[in-house]
């Protein structure tokens, strides 16, 4: 079964408790939290204290997606805030990705690497045996509600091929523009974790939506 993470980015921030409750009971496997710093991406969201408070309202494991420069400054804070997975961008750690991944592990979390739509999977090949997850961005990070970029399927197929050839078990996650149609393409290409943002938030039938995404094979 395919796993689903729900992103709260497009939720009503004045009603987080209600939104978190609906995610908590939706049947999704993860709460996906988008952390933006206004530097790495042209938008800002929230920090570790907010994550800590949200974890009290939602019992799902936290999948923390850091879209920030110098993520090494905040690994400890997000780990202590309750993150299960911490994903950093390859593009934000060009000189120190090894150390950042080690730091995530030392703080008791699962490390993930995210790549933007225009980054070749080849760039992260040397790290694939050290990580639990690869997040292929299927839109340019920064905003919810964008259109899925088809060409990212090439990276996904490549990542899936390496996983099989090298007998590895990292999860392949996609984030951005996911709906039933793009989800099917992703799962057929090897994805095991789908992030749903606005598709979930805008839906009137959230539990059914999660179930249908999980049933994509």
Q: Which residues are catalytic?
A: 34, 175
Strand blocks (E) in the chain: 3-7, 30-36, 62-67, 83-89, 110-115, 133-137, 171-175, 193-196
Please identify which residue in 29, 173, 175, 192 interacts with Zn ion, judged by CB under 5 A. Answer: 175
Chain residues 77-106 in contact with ligand DX5, contact rule CB under 6 A? none
Pairwise CA distance, residues 196 & 62, whole Å: 14
Pairwise CA distance, residues 41 & 48, whole Å: 18
Tokens 């990705």 sit on residue? 97
Nearer to ligand DX5, 71 or 144 (CB): 144
Segment contacting ligand DX5 (CB under 6 A): 85-93, 124-132, 193-201, 206-214?
A: 193-201
> Considering the rule CB under 6 A, would residue 178 count as an interface residue with ligand DX5?
yes
Query: By beta-carbon distance, which residue lies closest to Zn ion?
Result: 65
Query: By beta-carbon distance, which residue lies closest to ligand DX5?
Result: 197
What is the number of H-type helices and E-type strands within the chain? 8, 8
Nearer to ligand DX5, 4 or 104 (CB): 4
Dihedral sign computed on CA atoms, order 120, 125, 127, 129: positive
> Considering the rule CB under 6 A, would residue 9 count as an interface residue with ligand DX5?
yes
Which residues lie near ligand DX5 (CB under 6 A)?
7, 9-10, 32, 34, 65, 139, 141-142, 144-146, 175-178, 195-199
Where on the chain is the footprint of Zn ion (CB under 5 A)?
Answer: 34, 65, 175
């Amino acid at each position: 079964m395919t796993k689903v993470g729900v992103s709260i980015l497009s939720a009503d921030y004045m009603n987080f408790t209600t939104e978190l409750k609906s995610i908590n009971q939706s049947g999704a496997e993860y709460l996906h939290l988008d952390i933006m710093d206004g530097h790495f991406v042209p938008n800002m969201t929230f920090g570790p204290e907010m994550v800590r408070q949200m974890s009290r309202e939602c019992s799902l494991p936290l999948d923390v997606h850091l879209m920030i420069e110098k993520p090494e400054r905040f690994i400890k804070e997000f780990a202590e805030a309750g993150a299960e997975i911490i994903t950093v961008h390859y593009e934000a750690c060009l000189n120190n990705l090894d150390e950042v991944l080690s730091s995530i592990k030392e703080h008791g979390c699962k490390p993930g690497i995210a790549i933007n739509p225009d980054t070749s999977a080849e760039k992260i090949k040397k790290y694939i045996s050290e990580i639990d997850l690869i997040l292929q961005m299927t839109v340019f990070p920064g905003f919810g509600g964008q259109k899925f970029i088809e060409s990212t399927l090439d990276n996904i197929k490549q990542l899936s091929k390496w996983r099989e050839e090298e007998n590895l078990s990292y999860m392949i996650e996609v984030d951005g523009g996911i709906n039933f149609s793009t989800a099917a393409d992703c799962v057929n290409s090897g994805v095991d974790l789908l992030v749903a943002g606005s598709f979930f938030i805008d839906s009137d039938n959230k539990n059914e939506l999660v179930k249908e995404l999980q049933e994509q094979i």
